[in-house]
């Protein structure tokens, strides 16, 4: 057997091996689509989670502002009723809430 025959046989063998091992392009595309869909689903879940966090933060901030308004009114009532100690406590509570509001 000559060198050319050996090289030709090895080359044909390698080509046949590559052809049989080659993946189906349809499978590759389907796998890519499936991975993209999974990524999209994960992104949608993350967006929904962030949306819920924003809504919770908005509700919390609204609650804080309502409490600030409440303690402002209570302070005025205490001052008008000559209840200075109660007014001081109401002011402290309002300031604490205002500090929380600033941090939000």
- Tell me: the pLDDT tens digits for 29-38? 888 999 999 9
Closest CA to 88 of 70, 67, 74, 102: 74
Residue 1 confidence (pLDDT) = 58
- Tell me: the pLDDT tens digits for 49-97? 999 999 999 999 999 999 999 999 999 999 999 999 999 999 999 999 9
pLDDT tier for residue 15 given thresholds of 50, 70 and 90: confident
Six-digit token string for 66: 């309502």
Six-digit token string for 6: 């050996």
- Chain centroid to CA 80: how far? 49
Tell me the domain boundaries of the chain.
3-103
């Amino acid at each position: 057997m000559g060198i050319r025959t050996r090289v030709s046989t090895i080359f044909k063998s390698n080509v046949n091996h590559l052809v049989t091992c080659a993946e189906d392009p349809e499978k590759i595309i389907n796998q890519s689509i499936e991975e993209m869909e999974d990524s999209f689903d994960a992104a949608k879940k993350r967006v929904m989670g962030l949306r819920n966090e924003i809504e919770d933060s908005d509700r919390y901030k609204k609650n804080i502002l309502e409490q600030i308004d409440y303690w402002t009114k209570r302070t005025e009532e205490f001052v008008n009723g000559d209840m200075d100690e109660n007014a001081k406590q109401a002011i402290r509570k309002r300031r604490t809430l205002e500090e929380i509001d600033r941090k939000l």
